[in-house]
Structure 1
Amino acid sequence: MAVPVVNSGALITLPELNSSSPHFRHGASLRVVGKLEEYSVETAIAVIVDGDANLKVNTQHLNMSLRVGSLYQFIGELLIHPNNEAILEARIGRNIDGMDLKLYKQSLQLLKGFID
């Protein structure tokens, strides 16, 4: 029996995730960071933001409490709906309050420069 492969999430920022991005494809495994702007307990849909960019995150498979205004990191697969709306189906989520987001973004840029 074949064991399903779970890909690591590609490190991207929310502003990088747009329809012209190579990561903007159905099933792409992503790791994103954003501030929780809104959350619906009924639907388990969270909206995270980074600057002007936002992303819906389905948190139904996570066992965690979410607080609006806190900083979170999610890893999961991107689902693209017919209307070109993207929702991340999160398989991992964690609160990262206290992380220096500016330093995180700088280190991410350095890492991408090294990998590319």
Structure 2
Amino acid sequence: MSMRLQSGRVLKLDEVVQQGSALDGKAVRTIGKLVQLNPVSSTAVLSGSDGSRLTVSTRLVEPFPYRLHSLIQLIGEMEVTGGGECVIVPRVARCVDGLDVRLHNEALGVWRQFLEKQQMQQQQQDENDELPSDIFDM
């Protein structure tokens, strides 16, 4: 039996925090600055450029070798704890120090516009395919 992992939906850290429990069980990919690290409890905290904060469970990526204030990219599943806190449990973590976050966010916006345009075109194509063929017979 093969287990298929979901690809991580690319979200800015503030979007992950805003969507919160709606992302429970979903795979996400996000970037943030490492502002806290607690190896004893296998937790860390990432901060976004707007000040939003996201708790990270590092249990699947131990040892967590990153330094405070490093820019970290995570791909993993969101969980809601018993206390209602949203936590990301990454299966992949990597340091992306040197990444131009402003340019990354700009590219993300362009990519989303492209996907939206493609989705609209696909919907129009599907609607045209659903038209009865006899309407063209006159």
TM-score, normalised to structure 1, is 0.90
After superposition, residues 21-36 of structure 1 pair within 5 angstroms as: 21=19, 24-36=22-34
Identity percentage of aligned residues: 26
Whether 1:104 and 2:107 are equivalent positions in the alignment is no
Mark the runs of 5 or more structure 1 residues left unpaired by the alignment.
none
Q: Which has the higher helix share?
A: 2
Provide closer, same or farther for how the CA distance between residues 75 and 23 of structure 1 changes in structure 2, counting only shifts above 3 A. farther
- Once the 2 structures are TM-superposed, how far is the Cα of residue 95 of structure 1 from its aligned partner? 0.2
- For the residues of structure 1 that align with 2:52 and 2:106, how far apart are their CA atoms? 18
Q: Where does residue 36 of structure 2 map in the other structure?
A: 38
- Once the 2 structures are TM-superposed, how far is the Cα of residue 105 of structure 1 from its aligned partner? 0.6
Mark the runs of 5 or more structure 2 residues left unpaired by the alignment.
117-138
3-state secondary structure, aligned to 1:24: helix
- Of structures 1 and 2, the larger Rg is shown by 2
8 Å Cα contact 2:17/2:53 also seen in 1:
no
8 Å Cα contact 2:44/2:55 also seen in 1:
yes
Q: Which has the higher contact order (CA 8 A, sep 6+)?
A: 1
Provide closer, same or farther for how the CA distance between residues 23 and 113 of structure 1 changes in structure 2, counting only shifts above 3 A. farther
Q: Where does residue 59 of structure 1 map in the other structure?
A: 58
8 Å Cα contact 1:17/1:24 also seen in 2:
no
Task: Give the RMSD, CA atoms, in angstroms.
Answer: 1.7
3-state secondary structure, aligned to 1:74: strand
